[in-house]
Amino acid sequence: MDACPICDGVQTAFYARQNEFDFVVCRDCGFVFLFPMPSPEALADVYDDEAFGIGRYPKATSRKRRALFRALGLWPYFVRKDSIDVGCGGGFVAEAMRRLGARASGLDISPGSIAYAKDAFPRVRFFEETFETFLARGETFDFIHSSEVIEHIGDVKSYMKFLSGIARPGARIFLTTPDIAHPAVPEDVTQWDMFSPPRHVQLFTQATLTRLFDAHGFDIVKRYYKKNAPTLQVLARKRGESTA
């Protein structure tokens, strides 16, 4: 049995089955994750059919508006700072940060999304790369936005090492992911639309997300609770003294 990727515990129990995938729960820390975890290739296949491109993106107008609202709430953390949206899709949040004063970048693995983003928002730097390739560039940031990404990542430890690797000391990360412990989640978790393997391969609680961040050098400094939406939204700070 593989160890829990958050606490390295080896005791797990069956949690629930969905789409012929089994989720287990770690008996030590409560983390809920797919076991066995599908291969990176199998997970990548899920996204192969995204056929966005130059000039078209679903719901672009409402995405622009929502991105601006999101960015307004985070403005103090990125204004005049090197900032990146990891898993940027069509680039809406990266562009909103740029408009509000950030030196903005966006990273996504989807060619269609990045083609759209480069065309629609030419003043933002966009990268169509894997996390590993981007990490090797050695670029670092003061602010990282990563919304609804971590629940898709098969190797969560590698993802956290990536985030830590691009975060300067004192950098802030704003991260969102579904909240499996939220009161709005259906009693039968298999009825929850976020409970959707292999798109979502793990689901967090405040406790497991806090523990994961702590293990990789970050402190959660702010939590944004949504009464009606089962989502975790946190601001974390990379430990160390900022030099900016």
Residues contributing to the site for Zn ion (CB under 5 A): 4, 6-7, 9, 26, 28-29, 31
Nearer to Zn ion, 26 or 84 (CB): 26
Nearer to Zn ion, 14 or 47 (CB): 14
Nearest distance from residue 29's CB to Zn ion, in Å? Answer: 3
Nearest distance from residue 239's CB to Zn ion, in Å? Answer: 22
Nearer to Zn ion, 31 or 192 (CB): 31
Nearest distance from residue 25's CB to Zn ion, in Å? Answer: 9
Nearer to Zn ion, 134 or 213 (CB): 213
Nearest distance from residue 38's CB to Zn ion, in Å? Answer: 20
> In this structure, what are the phi and psi dihedrals at residue 93, rounded to the nearest 5 degrees?
-70, -40
